[in-house]
Amino acid sequence: MKLRELKVAETGVVTGFSSSEPAYRQQLLRMGFTKNATFKVVRKAPLDGPIEVEIRGSRVVLRSDEADVLEVDAT
C-alpha cells in the first residue's frame, strides 16, 4: 500500500521502499522513515498535493511523488 492511500488521522507502519534512487532512500531514512516505524497522517492537500505526517515526534511534509516511494501498512 502507498502512503497516499491512507486517510487523515490514520496511522501506519513503514514496511519498505519501492524502487528509487538510493540517495533519496537515504534521505527518507534520515527523516525517520525506517522499516517498522509508526506514523500518523496529519494533513493531505487536495489534488494529490503534499502529505504531512507525524513520525518519531516530528512532522514531515512529503510531495506525493516522494510519498509513493514508501510502502506502508495501515494499523
Closest of 7, 5, 1, 2 to residue 40, by C-alpha: 7
Domains in the chain: boundaries = 3-74
What's the rounded Cα separation, in Å, for the pair 54 and 57? 6
- The strand pair at 11-17 and 70-74 is best described as antiparallel
CATH of 3-74, one of 2.60.220.30, 2.30.30.90, 1.10.1130.10, 1.10.290.10: 2.30.30.90
Question: How far apart are alpha carbons 44 and 55 in whole angstroms?
Answer: 15
Rounded CA gap, 36 and 63, in Å? Answer: 21
Residues 17-65 pLDDT 10s: 987 678 888 889 999 999 999 999 999 999 989 999 999 999 999 998 8
The answer to whether the predicted template modeling score (pTM) of the entire model surpasses 0.85 is yes
C-alpha cell at 72: 506502508
